[in-house]
Amino acid sequence: MICRQVVLAFAVITLCFAPSVVRGDDLADLRAVFDKDIRLFNAHNKDAFVASAHDDIILFGILSPFAVKGKEALRQLMQGYFDDHVRVMFTPVNPEFFVAGTSALAWGHYTIAEQPKVGPRETIHGRYTFTYTKVDGKWLLVAMHLSPLQGY
């Protein structure tokens, strides 16, 4: 029994402290993909934005009251959102990045400046998390979560 506990403890310690399989350029690559995603969004280039996403992408947050699943659903959501606005500018504030093997996160605060076709301009402040996965050597956006901060 004690031997089993020692082996189990060693396995847990090994997993916790084992170096993750992260190449030195993964973080730089992730930052570049994130920056590109933001540029495509701000350019209202929904087709290129959606094309660079994972097939099973999930978006949840202020752009839709329900989780949007898959590229086609995301394309339709983006089309409707951009059709309703003259201009939308997503500005990440102090983005942070983390890479763990073939998974990665970009997170931080944002400001979205919206100029709808009908109604007054609006500025929204919030938090975001973009989750990426590495498939065939390429970072793909697999999940986006945008949540507004109240009281701004």
Q: Is 22 exposed, middle or buried (0-12, 13-18, 19+ CB in 10 A)?
A: middle
- Dump pLDDT digits (tens) for 39-68: 999 999 989 999 989 999 999 887 877 899
In this prediction, residue 3 carries a pLDDT of: 38
CATH for the 22-148 domain, from 2.60.120.260, 1.10.287.610, 3.10.450.50, 3.40.190.150: 3.10.450.50
Q: What residue has token string 């978006």?
A: 59
Q: What is the pLDDT of residue 17?
A: 38
Sorted by where each begins, the domain ranges of the chain are: 22-148
Structure pTM?
0.79
pLDDT in tens, 134-150: 999 999 999 999 999 97
Average pLDDT of every residue of the chain: 84
- Secondary structure class of 57 (helix, strand, coil): strand
